[in-house]
Amino acid sequence: MKLLIVTPTRGDRLDLLDAVLKSIDGITVPYQHIIVAPVEKHPAIRSLMSDHPILLVCETGRGMYAAINQGIDAAAGGWDWFTYINDDDYFSLHFDVFLNRIIASESCGCQADVYYGRVAMVGADSNLLYHMPVCPWPQSLLKYWAIGKSPLTQQGVCVARRVVESLKGFNNNYIYAADMDFFCRALSMGFNFKYLPIVVAAFRLHGGQLSKHRIAFNVEISAISSRLMRVGVLHAIFIKFIFYFWNIRVYFYRFFRLGLRRYDDIINNSQ
């Protein structure tokens, strides 16, 4: 395995970007890390890079997913797996375990095309708020996206190169939800997903993130969901119940930590 990691950044929070770099230090598999940032931020970012083998690429200013595509296009040959991590998130201590599980799956001939794990939601101080709910049944992922329920979290995903090349990267027409579009297209093309019950990364809540633009974000989600399979009302109620039941410990923990707050409220009120 050779892993390609792309980090899109505006370069405004070097402290958070430094946390990303430190979280990559524990990776034992060969990897290439590419940071895509505005050219005027390159000198400050280079000050963090002394101990890290990183390629710095000039961002074109066309949005986060265009920056990720730039990073993919700039990568040197030889990589066979891809992931991206935003500059305000970071990989967990178990990310390397996750990667080695993928290698083990390749060795035994039961390889999938996309692997996904669990993701922790943390506050600006990196303290755990709760773990994100997840769907462990890959065959049901499209159904959950069709009813507007997110069954996995982007930070916990590793994608085979053949998928990235077949899909020609991310759709730049989406500003907030191109990752959902990417995964739905991959599933619709028949690529195999596999769930590994490992906490792979942390999704950090803070005041300046794209995820706070919930109205525009939900408009894009609805547009993507509308082109997927139709799920009947009763079936939607049933699979939602199964999802909540499977993740019941997550929801109990979230209740005790944050009370009766919906996900959108938690995102919008982050500092």
Per-residue pLDDT tens for 11-30? Answer: 888 989 999 999 998 899 99
- Both tokens of 146, joined, read 């069709």
Distance of CA 143 to the CA centre of its chain: 19
What letter represents residue 242's amino acid? I
CATH assignment at residue 220: 3.90.550.10
Question: What is the structure's pLDDT at 24?
Answer: 92
Distance of CA 214 to the CA centre of its chain: 17
User: Which residue range(s) make up the domain with 19?
Assistant: 3-268
Sign of torsion over alpha carbons 263, 62, 187, 115 = negative
Cβ atoms of residues 19 and 12 within 8 Å: no
Distance CA 66, CA 222 (A): 21
Question: What is the structure's pLDDT at 118?
Answer: 97
Cβ atoms of residues 37 and 109 within 8 Å: no
Question: What is the structure's pLDDT at 127?
Answer: 87
Question: What is the structure's pLDDT at 214?
Answer: 67
Number of domains in the chain: 1
Low-confidence ranges of the chain (pLDDT < 50): none
Distance CA 151, CA 168 (A): 23
Question: What is the structure's pLDDT at 23?
Answer: 93
DSSP annotation of 235 reads: H
